[in-house]
Structure 1
């Protein structure tokens, strides 16, 4: 006997498929009206409600490529999904902690990402898109100019300095 998938299973499957192909409408359909997304980039604010999350996901889907989910753990209340992808030239890995309501809709997404050069590249690429979408092109230029050096230095540090601390490196 085969059991029918639960609402959480159905939502999780749809969320993963939407993320891999960048289908904004399909992703939004998985979310509760009062969804909250907690970013790995800032503790200053969260994205609340479908409208704000739509803007954030639209920007993310513009900058991410090669997204592939590879791990899923959890139950009907919460699931952890892990994926890989690319942002510009940087490969990244992201973990998503999803929380669900009784109908299987996503009420909260907490994002975690690595490595640091990929996170700073996300900050450089997504920040200006978000504020441009809010009708603030001047602030978009300021954010882009302020975050680009951070992305550059973390990328260079990862390639040139961090390998010097490798415990397996010959001295």
Structure 2
């Protein structure tokens, strides 16, 4: 049987258009999305994933998918984007169910300063939408410190140990 990738095509188009509702339409009702920050942070079902995508697609600009690789019902997608002036590269492992809908998403983001910047942009709004205003105020402090450390490492420390 030939695997249909209609859901993947719809997912890509929605991501590039910044359309959270269109992206969710490509997902199975029991979808899980594993955060690039920690595997302990999992979004489950259309409602939670829609909330994440709505916030993320507002924070991330100029998503352009560059590559797609598939084997069976597993697809790897790669895109390039921006968060302000910071370049972001993301890999997505998508697993399709028997109906051809996306049932599992695992995200991988690089470089580290892009990931920590993403945390500072998404975390507070996700906490607010989850009814946790105190946490929404705390997240920028914690993630801002991590972002500062990651940016300093990227700009000042890692260039000194780069291969010559």
TM-score range, shorter chain: over 0.9
For residue 128 of structure 2, give the secondary structure of its aligned residue in structure 1.
helix
CA distance in 1, matches of 2:8, 2:129: 28
Deviates more, 1:33-42 or 1:74-83: 74-83
The corresponding residue for 2:132 is: 136
Residue pair 1:7, 1:103 contacting (<8 A) in 2 also: no
Counterpart selection for 1:88 from 78, 84, 90 = 84
RMSD (CA atoms): 1.3
The corresponding residue for 2:102 is: 106
The corresponding residue for 1:29 is: 25
Deviates more, 1:28-37 or 1:137-146: 137-146
The corresponding residue for 2:55 is: 59
* Rg larger for: 1
The corresponding residue for 1:41 is: 37
Q: Report how many aligned residue pairs link the two structures.
A: 163
Whether 1:72 aligns to 2:77 is no
For residue 8 of structure 1, give the secondary structure of its aligned residue in structure 2.
coil
For residue 40 of structure 1, give the secondary structure of its aligned residue in structure 2.
coil
Residue pair 2:92, 2:108 contacting (<8 A) in 1 also: yes
Please identify runs of 4+ aligned residues in structure 1 that moved more than 3 A.
Answer: none
For residue 108 of structure 1, give the secondary structure of its aligned residue in structure 2.
strand
Residue pair 1:88, 1:121 contacting (<8 A) in 2 also: no
Unaligned segments of structure 2, at least 5 residues: none
Unaligned segments of structure 1, at least 5 residues: 1-5
Residue pair 1:8, 1:105 contacting (<8 A) in 2 also: no
Q: CA deviation at 1:44?
A: 2.2
Q: What is the TM-score with the length of structure 1 in the denominator?
A: 0.91
Q: What is the TM-score with the length of structure 2 in the denominator?
A: 0.94
